[in-house]
Amino acid sequence: MSTKTKIAGIEFDSYIFNASGIKDDTFEELEEIAKSKSSAIMLKSCTIGPRKGNEEPREINLPLGYFQSEGLPNLGYKKYLELIPKLKKYKKPIIASVVGFSLEEYRILIKAFQESEVDLIEINLSCPNIVEEGLPIVYDFEKIKELLDKISNLGEKPIGLKLPAYLCYVLQEKMVNLIEQYDIPFISSINSVGNSLIIDPEKETTVIKPQRGFGGLSGDYIKPIALGNVRRFYELLKDEVSIIGVGGIRTGQDAFEFLLAGADAVQVGTTFEKEGPSCFERINKELEEILQKKGYTSIQEAKGKLEYL
């Protein structure tokens, strides 16, 4: 039994790999992911220059998830470009993740990774912990269109989009229009859920310092939202675009639910943070057992098979 899958035509040895931003910013951390059973090496979202991120305390482990406003601490894209050749020896797909603060920055970042040895490029359109002027780009479809116009012809590597939790179906339809118009080959859905707030009732305070305590929520709390987003995208896109599910995957059963909803693979963030790199093998084994028990012989056979009552 194998959970081999394909994203945008690239082969992945299993259905499970790491989500961007969790223990993947330094070479040591990336090497740990490379040596684990994660089927790919997903890099931390990087920006043009290195960033220290937001002021501390900026993250807190919760019973059923994680809450943070890290603000994209990363080494800057040039450092990740240097690390890629060293990661190549592990023979797994390498996925870059980029965040620009202007269209020109996006152009520079994407051109650089197009000329590198990465296999896929993910544009993180949906970081909830960056304060933008006006409407965040991910809700501004005109601006996304401008971005896609600017970066579409910079190289041959597949470019995907990391999307937020859309709480309204119409916004997903608008996104799908752009995905189809620009032949976007893959999407990752969802990022941590922004505009969330955790309160310490004893101290009567917020629990993190940046942005007056508002931050992004991940883990079990957000799984139903992620499943809903993945399923809607699957209904709209069918098999034409690879969908990577992310949000609250902790067990093989969670992964199986994403598979039924239509995901081609899943990324694991909070569980990796809490459990360490052994989680990739454990979740994959649990998924294999479920598939075997149910008589499925491949990922493809079960994908999208959710039935309606």
Ligand X SMILES: Cc1cc2nc3c(=O)[nH]c(=O)nc-3n(C[C@H](O)[C@H](O)[C@H](O)COP(=O)(O)O)c2cc1C
124 binds ligand X (CB under 6 A): yes
The binder of ligand X chosen from 244, 249, 265, 279 (CB under 6 A) = 249
248 binds ligand X (CB under 6 A): yes
The binder of ligand X chosen from 66, 80, 113, 258 (CB under 6 A) = 66
Residue 188 CB, nearest approach to ligand X (Å): 7
284 binds ligand X (CB under 6 A): no
Mask for 135-174, x = binds ligand X (CB under 6 A): ---------------------------x------------
Within the chain, strands assigned E span 5-7, 10-12, 16-18, 41-46, 59-62, 65-68, 94-98, 120-124, 159-163, 186-189, 193-197, 199-200, 205-206, 214-219, 242-246, 265-268
278-294 and 252-261 are packed helices; what angle lies between their axes, rounded to 10 degrees? 60
189 binds ligand X (CB under 6 A): no
Which residue has its beta carbon closest to ligand X?
21
CB of 152 within 8 A of CB of 135? Answer: no
51 binds ligand X (CB under 6 A): no
C-alpha 82/C-alpha 76 separation (Å) is: 11
C-alpha 306/C-alpha 258 separation (Å) is: 10
Residue 62 CB, nearest approach to ligand X (Å): 11
Would you call 127 a catalytic residue per the annotation?
A: yes
Catalytic member of 46, 127, 168, 279: 127
Q: Are strands 186-189 and 242-246 parallel, antiparallel or unpaired?
A: parallel
CB of 225 within 8 A of CB of 193? Answer: yes
The binder of ligand X chosen from 97, 196, 229, 284 (CB under 6 A) = 97
68 binds ligand X (CB under 6 A): yes
The binder of ligand X chosen from 36, 211, 242, 270 (CB under 6 A) = 270
Sign of CA dihedral 121, 163, 43, 49: positive
The binder of ligand X chosen from 93, 100, 194, 269 (CB under 6 A) = 269
Residue 203 CB, nearest approach to ligand X (Å): 23
Residue 204 CB, nearest approach to ligand X (Å): 25
DSSP-derived secondary structure letter, 64: T
C-alpha 34/C-alpha 186 separation (Å) is: 22
Token code pair at residue 80: 């990740």
The binder of ligand X chosen from 3, 36, 39, 191 (CB under 6 A) = 191
44 binds ligand X (CB under 6 A): yes
CB of 182 within 8 A of CB of 151? Answer: no
Residue 77 DSSP SS3: helix
Give the closest residue to 186 by CA, choosing from 120, 252, 232. Answer: 120
CB of 270 within 8 A of CB of 65? Answer: yes
Mask for 206-235, x = binds ligand X (CB under 6 A): ------------xx--x-------------
Residue 70 CB, nearest approach to ligand X (Å): 5
- Active site (catalytic) residues: 127
Q: Which residues of this protein are in contact with ligand X, per CB under 6 A?
A: 19-22, 44-45, 59, 66, 68, 70, 72, 97, 124, 162, 191-192, 218-219, 222, 246-249, 268-270
